């Protein structure tokens, strides 16, 4: 079934996007791997199975141009994998409006615009698969990661709506929810956290405890980008893919737990995990 399928993947400069491009090519897909800077794709450009293109997911013109490019080159788009994304950290009060908007532009609006760009072609063909790479954070909110979690929650909501809307046209919508994955994504997140630890303010002490926990307890049960990529491609190849795939131990544990426990119990668990005290003494 996979042989000859045409797949467009975002966020291929590193991490899950790159691993998915390589896994799909290994299985016989014709892969169009994209990233904001096409130079970052030099190592995976392996014609004819992997073709690369520059795509900034915050640029609507570039999004529609990318869909048109793939259609012109291959004649169809069988699958879209929205893997581009990053995590912005900080207390809700201290994240600027510009930082909130930038987070949603990449993680949410970029994915929605790409889905809108490929859907006309998939509807006409009466087949296609759209994979939204979400996160455990799309179902379980982590304090000090509200921008990231909120963008992924929104992506999950859109996916649930789109799954029903697109089904009559033969288009499947799948959400993949990884737990922690050690990639350059994590490295970028740590760089974004560093200024928070140095910034004076009411949350400074809380950031230090949370950062230590994120590099410790929250990384246990993590997995690899390659493991997530195998799940993504399996879903595309499946005759009847599931609506959601939870990848690695933390996702499989935390998501069901969050639905079982009362909110106060989840809050207490998060406070303990992130070393957040009940009260701050002046």
- The Cα–Cα gap between 38 and 5 comes to 22
Are 51 and 32 spatial neighbours (Cβ–Cβ below 8 Å)? yes
Catalytic residue among 89, 148, 207, 245: 148
Helix (H) or strand (E) holding 236: helix 225-237
- The Cα–Cα gap between 56 and 38 comes to 10
> Has 148 been annotated as catalytic?
yes
- The Cα–Cα gap between 121 and 116 comes to 10
What is the residue extent of each domain of the chain?
6-274
Per-residue pLDDT tens digits for 28-47: 999 999 999 999 999 998 87
6-274 CATH, one of 3.40.50.720, 3.40.50.300, 3.40.50.2020, 3.30.360.10: 3.40.50.720
Are 207 and 197 spatial neighbours (Cβ–Cβ below 8 Å)? yes
Q: What are phi and psi of 281, to 5 degrees?
A: -95, 135
Per-residue pLDDT tens digits for 125-182: 999 999 999 999 999 988 899 999 999 999 999 999 999 999 999 999 999 999 888 7
Per-residue pLDDT tens digits for 166-184: 999 999 999 999 988 875 5
Cis peptide before 46 (omega within 30 of 0): no
Average pLDDT, the chain: 89
Confidence of residue 1 (pLDDT cuts 50, 70, 90): very low
Q: Which residue has the tokens 């889905």?
A: 115
Average pLDDT over residues 183-194: 61
DSSP conformational letter for 181: B
């Amino acid at each position: 079934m996979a042989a000859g399928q045409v797949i467009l993947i975002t966020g291929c400069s590193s991490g899950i996007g790159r691993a998915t491009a390589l896994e799909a090519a290994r299985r016989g897909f014709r892969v169009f791997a994209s990233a904001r800077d096409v130079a970052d794709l030099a190592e995976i450009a392996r014609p004819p199975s992997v073709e690369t293109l520059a795509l900034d997911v915050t640029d609507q013109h570039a999004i529609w141009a990318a869909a048109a490019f793939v259609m012109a080159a291959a004649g169809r788009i069988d699958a879209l994998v929205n893997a581009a994304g990053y995590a912005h950290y900080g207390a809700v009060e201290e994240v600027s409006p510009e930082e909130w908007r930038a987070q949603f532009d990449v993680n949410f609006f970029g994915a929605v615009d790409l889905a809108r760009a490929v859907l006309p072609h998939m509807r006409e063909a009466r087949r296609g698969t759209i994979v939204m790479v979400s996160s455990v954070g799309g179902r379980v909110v982590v304090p000090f990661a509200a921008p990231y979690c909120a963008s992924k929650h929104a992506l999950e909501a859109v996916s649930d709506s789109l799954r029903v809307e697109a089904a009559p046209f033969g288009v499947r919508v799948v959400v993949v929810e990884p737990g922690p994955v050690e990639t350059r994504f994590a490295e970028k997140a740590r760089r974004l956290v560093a200024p928070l630890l140095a910034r004076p303010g009411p949350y400074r002490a809380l950031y230090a405890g949370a950062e230590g926990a994120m590099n410790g307890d929250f990384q246990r049960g993590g997995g690899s980008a390659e493991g997530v990529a195998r799940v993504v491609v399996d879903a595309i190849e499946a005759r009847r893919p599931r609506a959601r795939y939870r990848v690695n131990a933390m996702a499989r544990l935390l998501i069901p737990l969050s639905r079982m426990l009362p909110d106060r119990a989840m809050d207490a668990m998060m406070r303990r995990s992130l070393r957040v005290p009940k009260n701050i003494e002046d």
